[in-house]
Amino acid sequence: QSVLTQPPSASGTPGQRVTISCSGSSSNIGSYTVNWYQQLPGTAPKLLIYSNNQRPSGVPDRFSGSKSGTSASLAISGLQSEDEADYYCAAWHDNLNGWVFGGGTKLTVL
């Protein structure tokens, strides 16, 4: 069982907007910034959003992140077929003195 809680699945049709939630506690999301990763099938995780809402160079602005209290969200607008992937949230955890991840959300583009 993961320390951060994500829905196991999400779906949408091309062009739609979808959001993926990530719930934690005061020991992780409540105290530290949240990062989001995209993992395409058979590949390594790729940094998608860092520091709650910052996009690395090359990540389309269709991807956005937000954080409020002990929860965070990833939003994908203008959904495309190539967005079909697993998405993970991550945050530093005080008591563990290390990174914790969500269990991952499998996004299906219908």
Residues that bind another protein (CB under 8 A): 2, 32-33, 35, 37, 43-47, 50-51, 54, 56, 88, 90, 92, 96-104
Helices (H), 58-102: none
- Report the candidate in 10, 11, 7, 13 with the shortest Cα–Cα distance to residue 78: 13
Nearest approach in angstroms of CB 80 to another protein is 23
Pick 59 or 75: Cβ nearer another protein: 59
Pick 13 or 44: Cβ nearer another protein: 44
Ramachandran assignment for 81, one of left (phi > 0), alpha (psi -120 to 50 degrees), beta (any other): alpha
